[in-house]
């Protein structure tokens, strides 16, 4: 594919492309990370390291999935904690990876139980050759409440632990945020005050994804019981993007360096995170489902998207959407765009009629005789439920009108009909 440059500089570190494995089982040992570099990932965030004082004791089974109409892994629930190996064996893997793949960025994720441990872990991973440190302030299913998301919702601990990490290393430091919080800006700012250089967001969302109807237990069932734990994958993408928006639209965080995480599965997801302010991107769940090769399509699509946007540098795309997402009270409430039915494409299934009647404003007119629909603009409020439920994409954005006959040109209808891709040829 085209030779457009996907490289980015992030916190002073050069990435051949923005795609990184996020810290998780997908980057858990030398062999996995080596294969990821060879498949074309720009970086690896190694599975979270800890001191040998913390004993990782995992449950079985440890995963569950949310499905919808036969689509697996719409969301993914895991019960896993942090690295399962002794610290020294992971440090040896990091040393070997840096020796053999010097151009692949290696970010060491760490988690301590107190300031001393954070500082020491930071010092240790720098000595092993890591390029960057990521503070895991965010795993939600730790067996110790002195670790993980219980720490990441506490601004004072975030500040103190970031300062401890900076005492231990001169490497750039990312603080990885928990989404299990109302306002991420508070803990992000505290982490930066402590000395963190940027933010990684998000870790997993606390969840109960399914309940066994016979056993009356959440899934996965671990010898008869279950627990709340982290949810990831496509379903969390909207939550991740919302937090990126909240941070980057805070005047104090406008230039915040961000590594975006949460439900990135396709090149389109990747572009969305970049437009919302992420410079690098991290991925776990889609790799667990499809393997490291997902990066090939994501890189290919990103290069084509850059071409369609006429940019040569990824940096030119970072954060372009932030200024276009406003507080709800600032939107133009005079603006109406009506749906338009493409009669040649319509298959007469009636889905739009049913949804509009039962769930909206009874504005779709159903002609029983020839199974055709049309829009009654007197009743239609332009909500576009009909367009979203149409299984054959036969409903598009149509006429634009300004409520109350307001003067001036309505903005272009820039919304894209569902399912119609960008022209990336």
Ligand X SMILES: Cc1cc2nc3c(=O)[nH]c(=O)nc-3n(C[C@H](O)[C@H](O)[C@H](O)COP(=O)(O)O)c2cc1C
- Distance between CA atoms of residues 99 and 85, nearest Å: 21
Question: Element (H or E) spanning 78, and its range?
Answer: strand 71-78
Give the single-character DSSP code of 323.
Answer: G
- The CA-CA-CA angle for residues 153, 157, 161, to 5°, reads 125
Give the single-character DSSP code of 132.
Answer: E
Among 49, 267, 284, 295, binds ligand X (CB under 6 A): 284
Among 285, 305, 389, 394, binds ligand X (CB under 6 A): 285
Among 236, 274, 386, 394, binds ligand X (CB under 6 A): 236
Report the residue number, 58 or 334, with the smaller CB distance to ligand X: 58
Taken in order 116, 121, 124, 125, the sign of the CA dihedral is negative
Among 8, 11, 20, 82, binds ligand X (CB under 6 A): 82
Under rule CB under 6 A, residue 177 binds ligand X: no
419, with CB counted inside 10 A (0-12, 13-18, 19+), is exposed
Strands (E), 172-317: 173-176, 198-201, 205-207, 211-212, 217-218, 229-232, 258-261, 278-283
271 is catalytic: no
Among 194, 233, 260, 382, binds ligand X (CB under 6 A): 233
Q: How far is the CB of 381 from ligand X (least distance, A)?
A: 35
Among 15, 16, 41, 48, binds ligand X (CB under 6 A): 48
Under rule CB under 6 A, residue 280 binds ligand X: no
Under rule CB under 6 A, residue 198 binds ligand X: no
Under rule CB under 6 A, residue 84 binds ligand X: no
Helix axes 87-100, 115-128, angle to 10 degrees: 30
User: Cis omega before residue 202 (within 30°)?
Assistant: yes
Tell me the three state secondary structure of residue 37.
helix
Q: How far is the CB of 61 from ligand X (least distance, A)?
A: 12
Under rule CB under 6 A, residue 229 binds ligand X: no
Report the residue number, 290 or 416, with the smaller CB distance to ligand X: 290
Q: Please tell me which residue in 139, 158, 271, 352 is annotated as part of the active site.
A: 139
Report the residue number, 260 or 319, with the smaller CB distance to ligand X: 260
Under rule CB under 6 A, residue 28 binds ligand X: no
Taken in order 279, 285, 286, 287, the sign of the CA dihedral is positive
Report the residue number, 59 or 401, with the smaller CB distance to ligand X: 59
164, with CB counted inside 10 A (0-12, 13-18, 19+), is buried
Q: How far is the CB of 355 from ligand X (least distance, A)?
A: 29
Among 16, 17, 22, 259, binds ligand X (CB under 6 A): 22
Q: How far is the CB of 199 from ligand X (least distance, A)?
A: 12
297-356 residues in contact with ligand X (CB under 6 A) are none
Under rule CB under 6 A, residue 78 binds ligand X: yes
Q: How far is the CB of 413 from ligand X (least distance, A)?
A: 32
Among 172, 262, 301, 339, binds ligand X (CB under 6 A): 262
135-154 residues in contact with ligand X (CB under 6 A) are 136, 139
Place of tokens 């390291």: 49
Contact region for ligand X (CB under 6 A) — 17-25, 149-157, 362-370, 386-394? 17-25
Report the residue number, 139 or 318, with the smaller CB distance to ligand X: 139
Under rule CB under 6 A, residue 27 binds ligand X: no
Give the residue among 119, 88, 116, 91 at the shortest CA–CA distance from 106. 91
β-pair type (173-176, 132-136): parallel
202-221 residues in contact with ligand X (CB under 6 A) are 203-204
Under rule CB under 6 A, residue 109 binds ligand X: yes
Give the residue among 217, 169, 220, 177 at the shortest CA–CA distance from 195. 169
Under rule CB under 6 A, residue 94 binds ligand X: no
Under rule CB under 6 A, residue 75 binds ligand X: no
The gap from C-alpha 198 to its chain's centroid, in whole angstroms, comes to: 16
Total of chain residues touching ligand X, rule CB under 6 A: 26
Beta bridge partners of residue 341, listed in sequence order: 395
Report the residue number, 25 or 398, with the smaller CB distance to ligand X: 25
- Distance between CA atoms of residues 405 and 423, nearest Å: 35
Q: How far is the CB of 111 from ligand X (least distance, A)?
A: 8
- Distance between CA atoms of residues 130 and 257, nearest Å: 19
- Distance between CA atoms of residues 14 and 34, nearest Å: 18
**Positions that interact with ligand X (CB under 6 A):** 22-25, 47-48, 76, 78, 80, 82, 109, 136, 139, 176, 203-204, 232-233, 236, 261-264, 283-285
Residues noted as catalytic: 139
């Amino acid at each position: 594919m085209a030779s457009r440059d996907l490289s980015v500089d992030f916190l002073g570190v050069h990435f051949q492309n923005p795609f990184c494995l996020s810290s998780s089982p997908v980057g858990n040992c030398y062999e996995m990370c080596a294969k990821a570099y060879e498949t074309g990932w720009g970086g690896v965030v190694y599975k979270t390291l800890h001191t040998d004082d913390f004993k990782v004791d995992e449950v079985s089974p440890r995963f569950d999935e949310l499905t919808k109409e036969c689509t697996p892994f719409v969301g993914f629930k895991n019960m896993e904690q942090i690295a399962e190996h002794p610290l020294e064996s992971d440090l040896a893997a990091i040393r070997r990876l840096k020796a053999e793949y010097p151009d692949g960025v290696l970010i060491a994720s760490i988690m301590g139980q107190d300031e001393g441990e954070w500082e020491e872990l930071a010092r240790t991973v720098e000595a092993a050759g890591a390029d960057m440190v990521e503070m895991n302030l965010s795993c939600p299913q730790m067996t110790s409440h002195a670790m993980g998301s219980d720490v990441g919702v506490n601004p004072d601990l975030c500040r103190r632990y970031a300062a401890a990490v900076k005492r231990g290393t001169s490497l750039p430091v990312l603080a990885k945020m928990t989404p299990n919080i109302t306002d991420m800006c508070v803990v992000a700012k505290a982490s930066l005050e402590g000395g963190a250089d940027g933010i990684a967001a998000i870790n997993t969302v606390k969840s109960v994804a399914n309940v066994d109807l016979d056993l009356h237990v959440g899934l996965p069932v671990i010898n008869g019981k279950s627990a709340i734990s982290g949810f990831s994958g496509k379903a969390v993408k909207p939550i991740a993007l919302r937090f990126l928006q909240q941070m980057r639209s805070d005047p104090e965080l406008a230039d915040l360096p961000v590594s975006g995480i949460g439900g990135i599965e396709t090149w389109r997801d990747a572009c969305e995170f970049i437009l919302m302010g992420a410079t690098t991107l991290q991925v776990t769940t889609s790799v667990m489902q499809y393997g490291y090769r997902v990066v090939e399509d994501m890189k290919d699509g990103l290069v084509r998207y850059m071409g369609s946007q006429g940019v040569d540098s990824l940096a030119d795309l970072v954060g372009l959407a932030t200024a276009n997402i406003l507080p709800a009270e600032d939107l133009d409430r005079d603006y109406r765009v009506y749906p338009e039915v493409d009669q040649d494409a319509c298959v007469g299934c009636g889905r739009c009629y049913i949804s509009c009647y039962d769930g909206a404003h009874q504005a779709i007119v159903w002609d029983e005789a020839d199974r055709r629909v049309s829009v009654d603009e007197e009743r239609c409020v332009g909500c576009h439920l009909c367009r979203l439920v149409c299984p054959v994409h036969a409903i598009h954005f149509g006429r634009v009108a300004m409520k109350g006959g307001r003067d001036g040109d309505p903005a272009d209808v820039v919304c894209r009909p569902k399912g119609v891709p960008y022209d990336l040829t």
